A and B are shown apart, each in its own frame.
Chain A
């Protein structure tokens, strides 16, 4: 994939970065919702096996969504950095 000349419109790239930061902020609230719902499920189910499965679901999905939040942050950072570099280079 390497070797292609870098270029683009820093304004649209920076706008994308801004939207991605917002998406990241939104996604990072989701593990709380998953935890809240699975804890309710654990309490309400009254069954140890189902409660344990819900706890595992909480751990797996909470971490998964948290990772996606970090990935969105990384994407936004990549876009931010690229827009900044393009601005420095005069919008090559």
Chain B
């Protein structure tokens, strides 16, 4: 048996870090106050163009100090909470280690004359296994707390990023020069700051606070600064939404994220870290609302039994009213359980942190979870699932995304994000799956989502959709019928048809036509979906479709029956399968090498 080791880390150092961050936050508050006083002194008797530049940029500097101070204090609180979790885990693990040690000693010495006790010796392995299991569970809980703390710290980091990066220096200089007519700035006598740098930074600072939130003494009215700007109108493109978002001040963004989180979390064009922040904020709110509805519903339970007659015989039957009520209870409980399932999935940090890119308690439940950050990853993929998909199955979808993440990494992807897109109401039975109706409704949502990924990404990247079963119908529709799907590659897996007859009918990133260079397809030999090929348009594995086919495991499997193996339809993500390996290569940008 291995010894029970304490969790890695140092409580005193974590506490010291939390305290120091709090101290830095306090110092920044003092800096903010001193800056406010200095600006009030400057604006007391000054007017003209330079005064306008001074007061607007001064307000921006104050608000940035305000944000930084709050961020440091919030990060301090996060670390302090983690210190508490660390202390609990360490204490528990130490207790298990002591118990294990005591059990070993007792087994060795509790017998007659201080010799080994046969009974205790026999029980020892089982007892040690139990204690080691409990110690591991305590460490797992601590790792989850660390993941939660990391996500909170990342959200704080994201709040400061946009301030100086929204505009290029050239744009800022142009704007400042045209708005403020600033000429003749002498440069910095005390340092290396050039006129251009000074103008650029003042310009960036000046944009962070709305003009009507600046008081006459140059201080910032945070109530006005935080006043909520209206959300963009419906039907705006992800690009327009991204422009709108980037033109808000950081304070306005924060205010919106903390109030309109239900809407922002699902707006394509909002950066992923902000969507993740908004959706995580929304989850407990929705759960509280649904739990309240459940309490109300439980108080409305009708009489369960009613008297009925068969001929002259009287008997008790369950009343239709109770059945209707019971169905409502079960449906509501399912929606509550869904939130718990999302929370459980998000807690995992392997193979990479998970981001909640979308969540809506509508239809069958919609959720979008990414393994890795798609705004920064070099290779991004979106998994579009098929018939029978609903939010309650998100664990399986994220499991497939995780498997593809690992496969892409093995294929040489330097950084990856794989998204489980449960963002549409999938057909729940064969009857609906034979129609393109659900695909037609889902296509604009997938189209917008992929365009949103493109506009929020830092720089260029390689984007892929991996679609399965009816998800291929959705994806095919989203890349045709007037849509252009902003992806570089598509992998169709086990497709019943993709609504077009040829790969060349598909439109991908930049309006590029589909071809064997960017459209990949695979269907296992014994997958019964082959019986449905063509019901929703051309099947991409057909030789005249024009895609690049890759291999799937041809194993008949133990469910082989009348020429088909039902389990083959969901075996494409099996570990070490050729299809999973190929999907990883396609995501990594080397799909041309698949066989």
Contact = CB atoms under 8 A, between A and B. Distances in A.
A32 to B, nearest CB: 9
B11 A44 contact: yes
A6 B24 contact: no
Interface in B452-471: none
Interface in A69-90: 70-75, 77-82, 84-85
A45 B82 contact: yes
Contacts of B112: none
Contacts of A23: 31, 34-35, 38
Interface in A46-61: 46-47, 49-50, 52-54, 56-57, 59-61
Given A6-B50, A49-B349, A52-B150, A71 B31 contact: no
B153 A54 contact: yes
Given A6-B50, A22-B34, A68-B61, 20 more contacts: A8-B45, A16-B38, A19-B34, A20-B39, A23-B34, A23-B35, A27-B31, A37-B20, A41-B17, A41-B18, A47-B150, A50-B82, A59-B157, A65-B28, A67-B64, A70-B193, A70-B201, A72-B61, A73-B190, A74-B188
A10 to B, nearest CB: 9
Interface string B46-90: 111111111001101100110010011001000100100010000
Contact of A19 (B7, B38, B349): B38
| B interface, over-half SS | helix
25 contacts: A1-B181, A2-B180, A4-B48, A7-B46, A7-B47, A8-B51, A12-B41, A15-B41, A16-B39, A16-B42, A22-B34, A22-B38, A43-B10, A43-B13, A45-B9, A52-B150, A57-B153, A57-B154, A64-B64, A70-B197, A71-B202, A74-B188, A77-B188, A77-B193, A79-B42
Nearest to B34: A23
Contacts, number: 247
Nearest to B150: A53
A77 B197 CA distance: 12
B146 interface: yes
A81 B49 CA distance: 13
Contact of B149 (A44, A50, A68): A50
Contacts of A60: 157-158, 160-161
Interface string A4-42: 111111001101110111110011001001101110110
B515 interface: no
B21 interface: yes
Instruction: Report, nearest first, the 8 A-B pairs whose CB atoms are least far apart.
Output: A46-B9, A16-B42, A44-B13, A46-B8, A8-B46, A19-B38, A6-B48, A53-B150
Nearest to A29: B27
Given A16-B41, A27-B31, A45-B146, A53 B153 contact: yes
Interface of B: 7-18, 20-21, 23-24, 27-28, 30-31, 34-35, 37-39, 41-54, 57-58, 60-61, 64-65, 68, 71-72, 75, 79, 82, 86, 142-143, 146-147, 149-151, 153-154, 156-158, 160-161, 163-164, 179-181, 184-191, 193, 197-199, 201-202, 204-205, 349, 353
A70 B164 CA distance: 12
B46 A82 contact: yes
Nearest to B199: A74
A76 to B, nearest CB: 8
A25 to B, nearest CB: 9
Nearest to A21: B190
A33 B44 CA distance: 34
A50 B41 contact: no
Which one of A30, A33, A44, A70 has the highest number of Cβ atoms from chain B below 10 Å of its Cβ?
A: A44
Contacts of A46: 7-10, 86
Given A60-B160, A61-B157, A12 B21 contact: no
Nearest to A14: B42
A68 to B, nearest CB: 5
A14 B555 CA distance: 83
B185 A78 contact: yes
Given A4-B48, A30-B28, A13 B42 contact: yes
A40 B20 contact: yes
A82 B53 CA distance: 11
Contacts of B23: 33
Contacts of A54: 153
Contacts of B60: 71
B197 A44 contact: no
A6 B182 CA distance: 11
A33 B68 CA distance: 13
Contacts of B157: 53, 56-57, 59-61
A68 B202 CA distance: 10
A33 B13 CA distance: 15
A64 B61 CA distance: 11
Given A12-B44, A23-B34, A60-B161, A30 B17 contact: no
A38 B504 CA distance: 52
Given A71-B64, A78-B54, A4 B49 contact: yes
